């Protein structure tokens, strides 16, 4: 990793980056490690729901983060701040940066909203200050502050192993209509992992079978294998998750699943009409305050 940076690089004073949310098409937990981390096998997929980060160069050194959500301060607890500080220190950035966040991704939702913002900071500061980091270098920095950040740096469809940081790129998942529903409850990832009985899980999703289905472009095979062991904790604590899954399946989803540690549920549909039907039913029954009719996001969407 280089420690200086290129002062003669493009002197744009403001740039914007989109930070895409993810869902887990499959999430398996292999075991709890002695250090408390969980060893996982996950199939990750970016969805077309994004935050927008605006970077403005500041003459005076320092990091300023602002957000448009009262409940999300821009202080040192914000992953954007942590990522910006890490880049500033590691790459010896001498100028200051202001980062303004427009939050669109549901929070505490299992969609890696904070991690993807941090990944966008690496891309944004790398470009603004001409730091010359490649994605692998950004991943190495990112894992220091969050296990999902390396995946968010790369995006697209990927197998994530280890604590989530060992990535294997997969071909794009087959196209489909995706309905994302976030019920009005916040779930702490820490609570879910602490209450997971990793050693006595009766069911493990077929991650290798899903990988093969994706490689063959087989939507049905992929949908059939969707599974998330964290549902054993979160669905029991919050039955609304099961209700939303049932509405989606009854409306014709190929399958529906909780993403990450929840509570967001996503359903995948072959036809938009069926997804709209589920959207309307979920809205009318007040099962989820945030609903998005969307699809997968392309791997390089952030850069467009």
Q: Is 117 in the site for ligand ATP (CB under 6 A)?
A: yes
By the 8 A CB rule, do 151 and 162 touch?
no
Integer CA distances (angstroms), 196 to 38, 187, 233, 234, in order: 10, 14, 6, 9
- 67-86 mask for ligand ATP (x: CB under 6 A)? -----x----xxxx------
Q: Is 189 in the site for ligand ATP (CB under 6 A)?
A: yes
Among 45, 46, 88, 115, indicate the residue that binds ligand ATP (CB under 6 A). Answer: 115
Q: Is 114 in the site for ligand ATP (CB under 6 A)?
A: yes
Beta-strand ranges (E) seen in the chain are 14-32, 38-58, 63-67, 96-102, 157-161, 166-169, 177-182, 227-228, 255-258, 265-269, 290-294
Q: Is 231 in the site for ligand ATP (CB under 6 A)?
A: no
Q: Which is nearer to ligand ATP, 79 or 97 (CB)?
A: 79
Q: Is 223 in the site for ligand ATP (CB under 6 A)?
A: no
Q: Which is nearer to ligand ATP, 23 or 222 (CB)?
A: 23
Give the torsion sign (CA, 100, 105, 106, 107): negative
Q: Which is nearer to ligand ATP, 109 or 213 (CB)?
A: 109
The shares of helix, strand and coil residues in the chain, as percent rounded to the nearest 5, are 35, 30, 40
Q: Is 234 in the site for ligand ATP (CB under 6 A)?
A: no
- What is the closest distance, in whole angstroms, from the C-beta atom of residue 259 to ligand ATP in the complex? 7
Q: Is 150 in the site for ligand ATP (CB under 6 A)?
A: no
On the question of a cis peptide bond just before residue 160, with omega within 30 degrees of 0, the verdict is: no
- Which residues participate in catalysis according to the annotation? 22, 148
Integer CA distances (angstroms), 41 to 18, 111, 175, 184, in order: 26, 16, 22, 28
Among 99, 112, 181, 240, indicate the residue that binds ligand ATP (CB under 6 A). Answer: 112
Q: Give dist(CA 7, CA 18) in Å, integer.
A: 25
Q: Give dist(CA 126, CA 136) in Å, integer.
A: 13
Q: Report how far apart the first and last C-alpha atoms of the chain are (Å, whole number).
A: 26
Q: Give dist(CA 294, CA 304) in Å, integer.
A: 18
Q: Which is nearer to ligand ATP, 213 or 288 (CB)?
A: 288
Select from 52-60, 109-117, 213-221, 232-240 the region that touches ligand ATP (CB under 6 A): 109-117
Using CB under 6 A as the binding rule, the residues of this chain from 159 to 188 that contact ligand ATP are: none
- 238-277 mask for ligand ATP (x: CB under 6 A)? ----------------------xx----------------
Integer CA distances (angstroms), 99 to 63, 122, 271, 284, in order: 8, 12, 39, 37
Which residue's CB comes closest to ligand ATP? 114
Q: Which is nearer to ligand ATP, 80 or 253 (CB)?
A: 80
Contact positions vs ligand ATP (CB under 6 A): 72, 77-80, 107-115, 117, 148, 189, 260-261
């Amino acid at each position: 990793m280089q420690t200086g940076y290129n002062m003669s690089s493009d002197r744009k004073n403001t740039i914007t980056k989109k930070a895409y949310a993810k869902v887990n098409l499959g999430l398996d937990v292999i075991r709890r490690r002695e250090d408390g981390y969980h060893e996982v096998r996950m199939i990750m997929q970016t969805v077309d729901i994004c935050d927008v980060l605006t970077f403005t160069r500041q003459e005076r050194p320092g990091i300023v983060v602002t957000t448009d959500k009262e409940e999300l301060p821009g202080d040192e607890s914000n992953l954007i701040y942590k990522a910006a500080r890490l880049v500033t220190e590691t790459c010896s950035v001498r100028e200051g940066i202001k980062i303004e966040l427009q939050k669109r991704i549901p929070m505490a939702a299992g969609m890696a909203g904070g991690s993807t913002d941090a990944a966008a900071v690496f891309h944004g500061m790398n470009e603004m200050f001409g730091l010359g980091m490649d994605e692998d270098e950004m991943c190495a920095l990112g894992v220091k502050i969050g296990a999902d950040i390396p995946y968010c740096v790369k995006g697209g469809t990927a197998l994530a192993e280890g604590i989530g940081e060992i990535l294997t790129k997969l071909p794009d998942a087959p196209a489909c209509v995706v309905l994302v529903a976030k019920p009005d409850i916040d779930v702490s990832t820490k609570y879910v992992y602490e209450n997971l009985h990793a050693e006595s899980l009766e069911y493990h999703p077929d991650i290798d079978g899903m990988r093969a289905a994706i490689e063959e472009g087989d939507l049905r095979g992929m949908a059939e294998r969707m599974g998330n062991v964290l549902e054993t904790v979160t669905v029991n604590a919050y039955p609304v998750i099961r209700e939303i899954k049932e509405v989606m399946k009854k409306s014709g989803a190929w399958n529906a699943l909780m993403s990450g540690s929840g509570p967001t549920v996503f359903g995948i549909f072959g036809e938009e009409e069926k997804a709209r039907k589920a959207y309307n039913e979920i809205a009318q029954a007040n099962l989820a305050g945030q609903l998005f009719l969307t699809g997968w996001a392309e791997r390089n969407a952030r850069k467009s």
